[in-house]
């Protein structure tokens, strides 16, 4: 399928030219090269920075980012134009425990800096220059989500521990698999305020950067001044909420006219009979099939919202060939070729296709590990 200097993506149906341009070369040359590459938004969960059984330390997160995320993104950037976003569930929950007086908009901004720094260090180890942007995302203060908190943050707790935290700190906790986690409001993202900064960086992106990192943790939720408690014209104020990073990633991909949107987890693609001996993984599925079967809705952790975000991007993109994919972080470069993970498109032959992996049953649980 490959020819000299050109490579055809099987499900994008068009070739692109790989080029290595110097960072200081003329931007119009870099842009001409970049526009020939597929544009992909890659979302990595905050859980990807935590290995099971390890504590949530900067050292452990940096090690995971260097060992897992950096090589995967490095390979993707050789042949694609990449925009990077990340979750912050474990990190913002841990920070909230340390600083109970801080509001979640401030905590979200802090985690964008913290995690952006970690990824910047990790990507520098593979010669990729990054630009981490503290991103504000406009939401509606009247969004129904504020009266029905649903976004999981922080570690998991047993039933007795969850009840004690609810009584002592006034938290709202809900079941997440067999455990409980704190939940906060998760309003719908409406507009990404720093989008033009990302566009400018993409115009000069080469395989070595600059790689824009934005909308971390779903972005900092803000609204126009005067809508909530402040009264300064034309300004913004933060709101006590955490936007779902996958939903914000879908908006980011749509606004940047991305060809694809990849959501990377530590649990592979979308499964039928998840966790059972007869489990099987979807290779490709149409958005109609996923909605009809409510795929992911009963999975542990946050797989349901990931599937919904992928569907949202594919169905609302201005690109009729737009695609999304869910898969394991370590398989990122293979997901692009639909050799791993689950590809999601508007139309798929037979509505759904399955991997032939009889007897392997390689599934993992997609949820935050309990901190030791």
Helix, strand, coil content of the chain in percent (nearest 5): 35, 25, 40
Q: Is residue 60 among the annotated active site residues? A: no
| Tokens read off for 179 | 């455990």
Q: How far apart are CA 317 and CA 39, in angstroms?
A: 13
Residues 6+ apart with CB under 8 A from 43: 85, 86, 87, 245, 246, 249, 261, 262, 263, 264
Q: Is residue 46 among the annotated active site residues? A: yes
Q: Are 108 and 136 in contact (CB under 8 A)?
A: no
Sign of CA dihedral 328, 136, 313, 37: negative
Q: Which of 45, 74, 87, 151 is catalytic?
A: 151
What does DSSP say about strands 260-265 and 39-44: parallel, antiparallel, or unpaired? parallel
Q: Which of 46, 89, 219, 269 is catalytic?
A: 46
Of 175, 157, 46, residue with least CA distance to 97: 157
Q: Which of 37, 45, 47, 269 is catalytic?
A: 47
Q: Which of 37, 74, 283, 306 is catalytic?
A: 306
| Tokens read off for 365 | 């649980």
Task: Looking at the chain, list the stretches that DSSP marks H as alpha helix, in order from N- to C-terminal side.
Answer: 27-34, 58-64, 70-77, 89-98, 104-124, 159-169, 195-203, 245-255, 287-293, 303-316, 332-335
Q: How far apart are CA 128 and CA 64, in angstroms?
A: 17
Q: Which of 74, 245, 345, 367 is catalytic?
A: 245
Q: Is residue 306 among the annotated active site residues? A: yes
Active site residues: 46-47, 151, 245, 306
């Amino acid at each position: 399928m490959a020819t000299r200097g050109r490579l055809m993506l099987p499900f994008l149906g068009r070739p692109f030219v790989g080029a290595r341009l110097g960072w200081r070369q003329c931007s119009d040359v870099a842009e001409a090269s970049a526009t020939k590459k597929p544009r992909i938004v890659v979302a990595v969960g905050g859980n990807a920075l935590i290995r099971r059984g390890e504590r949530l330390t900067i050292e452990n997160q940096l090690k995971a980012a260097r060992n897992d995320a950096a090589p995967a993104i490095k390979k993707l950037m050789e042949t694609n134009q990449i925009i990077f976003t990340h979750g912050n569930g474990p990190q913002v929950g841990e920070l909230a425990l340390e600083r109970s007086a801080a509001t979640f908009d401030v905590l979200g901004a802090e985690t964008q800096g913290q995690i952006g720094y970690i990824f910047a260090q990790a990507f520098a180890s593979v010669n990729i220059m990054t630009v981490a942007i503290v991103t504000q995302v406009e939401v509606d203060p009247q969004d129904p989500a504020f009266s029905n908190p649903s976004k999981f943050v922080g570690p998991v707790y047993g039933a007795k521990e969850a009840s004690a935290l609810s009584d002592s700190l006034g938290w709202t906790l809900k079941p997440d698999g067999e455990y409980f986690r704190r939940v906060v409001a998760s309003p719908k993202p409406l507009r990404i305020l720093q989008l033009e900064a990302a566009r400018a960086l993409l115009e000069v992106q080469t395989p070595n950067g600059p790689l824009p990192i934005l909308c971390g943790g779903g972005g900092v939720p803000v609204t126009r001044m005067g809508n909530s408690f402040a009264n300064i014209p034309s300004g913004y104020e933060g709101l006590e909420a955490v936007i779902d990073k996958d939903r914000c990633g879908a908006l980011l991909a749509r606004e940047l006219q991305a060809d694809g949107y990849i959501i990377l987890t530590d649990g592979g693609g979308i499964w039928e009979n998840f966790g059972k001996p007869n489990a099987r993984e979807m290779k490709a599925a149409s958005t109609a099939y996923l909605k009809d079967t409510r795929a992911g809705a009963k999975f542990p952790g946050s797989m349901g919202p990931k599937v919904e975000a992928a569907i949202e991007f594919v169905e609302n993109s201005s690109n009729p060939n737009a695609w999304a994919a869910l898969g394991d972080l370590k398989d990122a470069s293979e997901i692009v070729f639909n050799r791993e993970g689950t590809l999601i498109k508007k139309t798929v032959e037979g509505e759904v296709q399955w991997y032939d992996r009889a007897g392997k049953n390689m599934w993992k649980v997609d949820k935050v590990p309990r901190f030791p």
